C-alpha cells in the first residue's frame, strides 16, 4: 500500500501498477478483503472490487494467457470463450472472438476491462454493449474497431434520473471511424477523451457528457449526424458549454462552424 492505494508488480518489482484504494491502515485491510483460491492462485478481492492474483507456486504467469485485472470480467470471458476449458483465456482465444454482443450489457459488477484490447478480431462495439455497466471505470478498445454503436456506454441509472456512470478512462483506436448516437451519454466521470483523426461521423448525443476536455485530432471536422432515431430535437455532441475543445491549430474556424458543437471554447492544439 502506498499513498492510500494498492500497488502490484507482475515483474518482480521492475514496474508497478496502481490498483484500488486501500480502505484500512497501511499494510492491512482487515475485513474489507475477500480471499478465495484455486489450484494455482490466491485471489484477494478489495472493497472496490479490484482483484489481486498471487501465484501459489511463485512462478511467473503464463505469457500466453491474459492476466485479467477484474475477476468478474475474467469469469464472463471464461464462460463464453475458454474453448479448451483450461480455466484461462489465451491471447489466441481472445483474438478469435468476432463480437462481444450484449454479454456485458447491464452488468453492474465489472469495473475494469483494459484487456478488451486483446480481442483484436472485433471490429464493432455493438449497440448497448456496455449499456448500464454503471461501475465500469476503464476500458481499452481494440485497434481494429471501426464503429462504436448506439448507446454503447450509456448509463442505465439515468433513466429517467440517477447517477452518472463511473467510466473515467477510455482509449479509442486510431482506426475508429464512427461513434453512434448516445454512445457516451451520461458518462460524466469521463473528463477527457481523444477523438482519433480517423473518426468521420458522430451521432446525436454521441459525446454528450460533462467532459472538461475533448481532443479532436482530425484537421477535417467529423460530420455530426442529424438523424435522431428516437425523434425530437437533435442533440449536441458536447453537452456542456464549459467544455474545452482542442483541435489542430489550422482547423479552428472549421470546428467553430459545426452547428451541434455546443461549446464556448475551441482551442488550437499541436498534436504529435
- pLDDT tens, position by position, 82-140: 999 999 999 999 999 999 999 999 999 999 999 999 999 999 999 999 999 989 999 99
> Residue 209 pLDDT > 70, yes or no?
yes
pLDDT, tens digit (0-9, with 9 covering 90-100), for 18-67: 776 766 555 555 566 777 877 777 777 777 777 777 766 655 567 899 99
Q: Say which residues have a Cβ less than 8 Å from residue 106's Cβ, sequence separation at least 6.
A: 131, 132, 133, 156
Residues 217 and 197 sit within 8 Å (Cβ to Cβ): yes
**Which of the four pLDDT bands, split at 50, 70 and 90, describes residue 264?**
low
Q: Identify the H or E element spanning 81.
A: helix 71-81
**What is the set of domains in the chain, with CATH numbers?**
5-55 (no CATH), 98-272 (3.80.10)
Cell of 186: 451520461
pTM exceeds 0.85: no
Using 50, 70 and 90 to split pLDDT, how confident is the model at 166? confident
Amino acid at each position: 500500500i502506498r499513498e492510500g492505494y494498492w500497488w502490484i508488480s507482475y515483474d518482480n518489482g521492475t514496474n508497478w501498477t496502481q490498483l484500488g484504494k486501500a480502505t484500512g491502515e497501511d499494510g492491512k485491510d482487515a475485513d474489507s478483503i475477500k480471499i478465495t483460491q484455486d489450484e494455482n492462485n490466491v485471489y484477494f478481492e478489495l472493497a472496490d472490487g479490484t482483484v489481486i492474483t498471487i501465484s501459489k507456486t511463485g512462478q511467473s504467469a503464463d505469457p500466453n494467457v491474459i492476466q485479467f485485472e477484474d475477476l468478474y470480467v475474467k469469469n464472463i470471458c471464461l464462460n463464453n470463450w475458454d474453448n479448451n476449458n483450461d480455466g484461462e483465456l489465451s491471447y489466441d482465444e481472445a483474438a478469435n472472438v468476432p463480437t462481444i454482443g450484449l454479454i456485458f450489457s447491464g452488468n453492474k459488477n465489472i469495473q475494469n476491462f483494459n484487456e478488451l484490447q486483446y480481442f483484436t478480431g472485433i471490429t464493432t462495439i455493438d449497440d448497448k454493449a456496455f449499456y448500464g455497466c454503471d461501475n465500469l471505470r476503464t476500458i481499452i478498445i481494440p485497434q481494429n474497431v471501426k464503429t462504436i454503436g448506439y448507446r454503447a456506454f450509456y448509463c442505465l441509472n439515468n433513466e429517467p434520473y440517477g447517477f452518472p456512470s463511473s467510466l473515467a478512462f477510455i482509449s479509442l483506436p486510431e482506426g475508429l471511424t464512427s461513434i453512434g448516437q448516445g454512445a457516451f451519454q451520461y458518462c460524466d466521470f469521463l473528463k477527457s477523451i481523444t477523438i482519433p483523426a480517423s473518426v468521420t461521423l458522430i451521432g446525436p448525443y454521441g459525446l454528450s457528457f460533462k467532459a472538461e476536455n475533448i481532443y479532436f485530432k482530425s484537421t477535417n471536422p467529423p460530420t455530426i449526424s442529424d438523424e435522431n432515431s428516437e425523434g425530437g430535437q437533435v442533440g449536441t455532441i458536447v453537452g456542456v458549454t464549459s467544455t474545452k475543445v482542442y483541435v489542430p491549430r489550422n482547423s479552428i474556424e472549421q470546428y467553430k462552424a459545426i452547428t451541434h458543437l455546443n461549446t464556448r471554447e475551441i482551442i488550437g492544439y499541436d498534436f504529435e
